[in-house]
Amino acid sequence: MSIYKALTIAGSDSGGGAGIQADIKTFQELDVYGMSAITAVTAQNTLGVHGVYPLTAEALREQIDAVAEDLRPDAVKTGMLWNAEMIEEVARKIDEYGFSRVIVDPVMIAKGGASLLRDESVAALKELLIPRSYAITPNIPEAETLTGMTISSLDDRKKAAEQLVEMGAQHVIIKGGHQPEDNHITDLLFDGSMFMQISHPYIDTKHTHGTGCTFAAALTAQTAKGDRIHQAFEAAANFVREAVENTLGIGSGHGPTNHFAFKRNSFNTSR
């Protein structure tokens, strides 16, 4: 039996809905062994981020080394990287260990509006991580920041995706959660030559904390198992849809998604 392994390099969410916690839960639900390198500890819940406490670049480096030297991952996900120094460290480690399946989730702003990436770090992300990525998974505001474009339509998203591939990304997925159209959410994949769209009905709920992290984690898990990008994209979109549709309904603010839902519903359907 093959044990597939995935490493997430991201921040810790004390509320459990996003960051390292969401990633590990998602890996587990998709039958992938999860490992982590923590960039920062956050004090947060469904009402917002109350504090961010970054680790040192040395601490990040030693975590990545410890994992890579003994439990080499089949795929790597990056999330909240906080500053340029950490981005530089991650880029060095990608090169040192020859990681080729790197999913970059360019986390910039928390659901409640708190900044999770220093402004001066965007240039480092564009210069150092995008060219090393197997896939990058921005939401629409993140894609606007990375490209300098205003995105107000699907055609705009296609142009932004093409621009991100020109920056060096192998594949680009721009998520559509910030711009529902005709009561549907459409996620867009550009593989460098063609576009693929997946649409789901819009779900009117405030319980969407961690959807971006969860999507990228599901994409990473499926990539670790050997799925091609189109298969992984479809699986990740379905995982998040199930997680949002079957809400847990906990917390007083933007509650977490339901990481149990995909496997439970798949099991019940197969019986």
Residues recognised as catalytic: 175, 208, 210-213
| SS3 state at 73 | coil
Taken as a whole, the chain contains a residue count of 271
Exposure letters 212-234 (e unless 16+ CB within 10 A, then b): bbbbbbbbbbbbbbebebeebbb
**DSSP state, residue 117:** B
Helix ranges restricted to H, 71-153: 84-97, 122-124, 140-147
Which residues share a beta bridge with 10? 38
Contacts of 10 (CB under 8 A, 6+ apart): 19, 20, 23, 36, 38, 39, 77, 78, 79, 80, 81, 105, 107, 213
Looking only at the bridges linking them, the beta strands covering 75-78 and 5-13 are parallel
Q: Are 238 and 28 in contact (CB under 8 A)?
A: no
Per-residue tokens: 137? 């998974």
